[in-house]
Amino acid sequence: MSILICGSLAYDNIMVFPERFKDHILPDKTHMLNVAFLVPEMHRNFGGCAGNIAYGLQQLGATPLPMAAVGADFDRYAERLDELGISQAYVLRDDDHFTAQAYITTDLDDNQITAFHPGAMDQNHRNVVPTDGTVAWGIISPDGKQAMLDHSDQFKSAGIPHIFDPGQALPMFNGDELRGLVANADWLTVNSYEWEMIVKKTGWTRGEALAGLKGGLIVTHGGEGSKLLTADGEADIPAVRPERIADPTGCGDAYRAGLLFGLERGWNPVDAARLGSLMGSIKIAHNAPQGYSLDLNDLTARYKTEFGSAMPA
């Protein structure tokens, strides 16, 4: 069966400024800031949370269904999805908008200035979660606000287990909205900063958050690994040491692809989170969110080496 990934399909425009922002920004002039950075190096990558998670699932051999709204400039991305064999059955085309785009400029100190244009993404509420029994699992990743609210209710009404992964969309929601989104979900996945934001907005303790989740809570801590919490207790998921650090963009999406793959197959959640950790490590060793490829035999062998047990079938 399929895994429905509600979120964005986007182009990531990555520019490298071969100097330091701080050398060109005068602290006493920030009230009238007017700067230009020459960026001789630029890359345009296929991205967006729905696209990145779908790519990871496709590499693992799953059947991903990205659900996203895209614009008039989507043709090249559509060709790539066709080449990968990823269905576009739930990709809504709106030619009155551009596809979502991120413009990220990085300096020599790895500081970043990012501008994000949502474009057609804000139309994704026009997509509806299918109820024909073809979808086994789902995830709500960063998207237009109304789409995230609607798809959450639709997953619950259809009885489809799903992950709520608010990510950078978290600031859009108030405490009551977050309580409802978490109550509808089976799993909540956040990084440590996002978890603190949820606590501040909802007033919850971890126990109170877990009480509303059928599965559990995963809090990631970057290179320090992640923590999996359920009603039965806690488990520490170690970070897998990468072969090299090339590009962190999309590591969280790769983690979620591994997690979804395991949960859809009925694995113990610890094993699913371990696969997520391994996927994140593989991704960070490659440039671009979808710049890695998997050999499943190598993946299985590495899983056993890293975690001391065989990867479930």
Quick: pLDDT tens for 262-276: 999 999 999 999 999
Cβ-contact 303, 275 below 8 angstroms? yes
- Whether 253 is catalytic is yes
Cβ-contact 142, 168 below 8 angstroms? yes
Q: What are phi and psi of 205, to 5 degrees?
A: -95, 170
pLDDT at 30 over 80: no
Residue 32 lies in a domain: no
Residue 313 lies in a domain: no
d(CA 100, CA 73): 10
Quick: pLDDT tens for 111-131: 888 899 999 999 999 999 999
Q: Is the pTM of this model over 0.85?
A: yes
| Domain containing residue 171: CATH number | 3.40.1190.20
| Helices assigned H by DSSP within 63-144 | 75-84
Q: Strands 226-230, 162-164: parallel, antiparallel or unpaired by DSSP?
A: unpaired
- The secondary structure of 33-81 as a DSSP string is --------EEEEEEE-HHHHHHHHHHHHT--EEEEEEE-TT-HHHHHHH
Q: 119 is written with which tokens?
A: 């474009």
pLDDT at 136 over 70: yes
Residue 253 lies in a domain: yes
Closest CA to 46 of 85, 75, 5, 4: 75
Residue 110 lies in a domain: yes
Residue 312 lies in a domain: no
Quick: pLDDT tens for 192-226: 999 999 999 999 998 999 998 999 999 999 889 99
HSE-up of residue 253 (Cα within 13 Å, Cβ side) = 31
Q: 141 is written with which tokens?
A: 């990743």
Alpha-carbon dihedral sign for residues 133, 47, 286, 293: positive
Q: How many domains does the chain have?
A: 1
What percent of the chain is predicted at pLDDT more than 70?
99
Residue 8 lies in a domain: yes
Return the pLDDT at 111.
84
d(CA 88, CA 64): 10
Return the pLDDT at 29.
67
| Helices assigned H by DSSP within the chain | 49-60, 75-84, 145-158, 175-184, 192-202, 206-211, 251-264, 269-284, 296-307
Residue 213 lies in a domain: yes
Which residue has 């062998």 as its token pair?
A: 301
26-53 core/surface letters (b: 16 or more CB in 10 A; e: else): eeeeeeeeeeeeeeeeeeebbbbbbbbb
Contacts with 86 (C-beta within 8 Å, 6 or more apart), sequence order: 54, 55, 58, 64, 66
Cβ-contact 91, 30 below 8 angstroms? no
User: What domain range is 56 assigned to?
Assistant: 2-27+37-307
The one catalytic residue among 253, 271, 295, 298? 253
Residue 291 lies in a domain: yes
Question: Which residues are 116's β-sheet partners?
Answer: 102
| Residue of higher predicted confidence among 113 and 86 | 86
